[in-house]
Amino acid sequence: MVLPSAYIFYYDTMNEVINKFNDTNAWNLSVIDKAKYVGFCFKIKTFFGLPSIIG
């Protein structure tokens, strides 16, 4: 088992999430809320969804 290079916490801001993807060069990161696994966040969905959120 390999530990992920970073985690996304449920209440991280979009800037924090983008920075974690850029810093780790990962395509998906685990999402954690209150020390429990929630799911995965995928880089491609994050970046394609971003224009609709801010536009």
For residue 46, name the pLDDT band (cuts at 50, 70, 90): low
Give the dihedral sign, CA 19/12/39/49.
Answer: negative
- In this prediction, residue 4 carries a pLDDT of 79
Domains identified in the chain and CATH numbers: 7-54 (3.90.1280.20)
| pLDDT tops 60 at residue 53 | no
Please tell me the predicted confidence (pLDDT) of residue 1: 78
- Sign of the alpha-carbon torsion through 39, 43, 46, 49: negative
pTM for this entry: 0.74
3-state class (DSSP) for residue 51? helix
> Which is it for strands 28-33 and 7-9: parallel, antiparallel or unpaired?
parallel
SS (H, E, C) 9-47: ECCCCHHHHHHHHHHHCCCEEEEEECCEEEEEEEHHHHH
